[in-house]
Structure 1
Amino acid sequence: MHLPKPVMRGLLGKRLRFHLPVAFTLSLVAAIAFKYAVTEPRKQAYADFYKQYDAVKEFNAMKEAGVFESVRPSGE
């Protein structure tokens, strides 16, 4: 029984013709999935948070709690 020799000439080019488009397509799909599964909901969550965020109110609450050492509470 005699095994045929493997074809080595042009093997890399033949394999790349298949694997390169597949890799490019999968990476594009992964990037689009990440954009719509992670970044868009995160941007929406930030937008929803800052619609009702009052920085002055938050500062006054932290000031009253004694978080800042350089700012005295208004009761003193």
Structure 2
Amino acid sequence: MSFLWEKSATWRWLVRRTRESKPFFFSFAMACGVVPAVIGYGIMQLTSSRNEQLEAQLRKTARPESL
């Protein structure tokens, strides 16, 4: 962390702002949590298939303990 503090003006600005302003801190914390969650949810929705035929085939070939 000291490397970031010494080399990055942006990091120093961010740390200073989060120390000085509670609203900025909570906004930044929410952005760090919500933005990745929304992106992850979107990716899961795009990549999950609701193909009934595929689901039936997977259920037919599944091991008994996984059902």
Q: TM-score, normalised by structure 2?
A: 0.46
Q: TM-score, normalised by structure 1?
A: 0.42
Q: Flag the structure with higher helix content.
A: 2
Q: Which has the larger radius of gyration?
A: 1
